[in-house]
Amino acid sequence: MQLTPQLLPDLVQVIADAIENNAEEVTALDQAIGDGDHVFNLQRGIQALKAQSAELSQMDWVAAWQKVGMTLMTTIGGASGSLYGTLFMAMSKAAHERPLTLSSFAEVYGQGVEAVKQRGKADVGEKTMLDVLVPVADSLWQSSAEAVELPVALSKLTDVAVAGMESTRDMVATKGRASFLEERSRGHIDAGAKTAQLMICAIVALLVERLTAPT
């Protein structure tokens, strides 16, 4: 099957479910070293996307990612809204007039992640969502270079995202409110990395299910 924006309503729903089902755990992580409002802010953006899902499903990927980016930037607020908004708007720009293949998506997503790095002035190793987003981008590049089948390439991302999230436990935060704790931030998983992992794993599970379903 082709992966078209008609999948977006289902993708938004599985993301919403993943965050809701883990809200208590993530909020506890955020309260330990952050503001404690990460899940609430993220869910506000997800609800806005749910309200637009029918409209999004009728767009092409370029328009849909642009709309998603603008919506997240204006509804989530704070750092997460800015960073996720930047991710999707940069992906939209990079995908202009290009067919969507594993190779092109690896490049499109990679450019989105680079834009997040620049916006957040952060990189891997600083206890943020980038500790998940960057390894996922690297895995996509590797799978593309090795001409791996799409379902296999996607399935690899689950372990990569979980490993990236877990890696934040032993890091000292250098960004956001957690950075004020300095060494005391070590020993806690970053809430933003956790929600990035949850969302990526939910997306991957749905896409693999659809790609491998008997026709």
**1 has a pLDDT exceeding 60:** no
What the chain holds in terms of domains, given with CATH numbers, is 5-212 (1.25.40.340)
C-alpha 210, offset from chain centre:
19
d(CA 210, CA 199): 17
**182 has a pLDDT exceeding 80:** no
CA angle 144, 81, 206 (to 5 degrees): 45
pLDDT for the residue 174: 75
pLDDT for the residue 152: 96
Mean pLDDT of 187-195: 93
Per-residue burial over 152-175, b if 16 or more Cβ lie within 10 Å, else e, is: ebbbbbbebbbebbebbeebbbeb
Query: What's the token pair of residue 43?
Result: 């869910």
**65 has a pLDDT exceeding 60:** yes
Q: Indicate the residue type of 138.
A: D
Query: What's the token pair of residue 5?
Result: 């924006």
Show Cβ contacts of residue 69 under 8 Å, excluding neighbours closer than 6 positions.
Answer: 84, 85, 86, 87, 88, 89, 90, 91, 92
Indicate the average pLDDT of the chain.
93
pLDDT band at 180 (very low <50, low <70, confident <90, very high): low
pLDDT for the residue 186: 81
pLDDT for the residue 188: 87
What's 119's DSSP letter?
A: H
d(CA 140, CA 123): 18
Query: What's the token pair of residue 197?
Result: 């992992």
Rounded to a whole number of angstroms, the distance between the first and last alpha carbons of the chain is 8
If 0-12 CB within 10 Å is exposed, 13-18 middle and 19+ buried, where does residue 128 land? buried
Q: Indicate the residue type of 157.
A: L
Q: What is the pLDDT of residues 101-156, one digit of tens each?
A: 999 999 999 999 999 999 999 999 999 999 999 999 999 999 999 999 999 999 99
pLDDT band at 214 (very low <50, low <70, confident <90, very high): confident
Q: What percent of the chain has pLDDT over 70?
A: 94
Query: Is pTM beyond 0.85 here?
Result: yes
pLDDT for the residue 181: 56
Residue 125, helix vs strand vs coil: coil
pLDDT band at 17 (very low <50, low <70, confident <90, very high): very high
What's 171's DSSP letter?
A: P
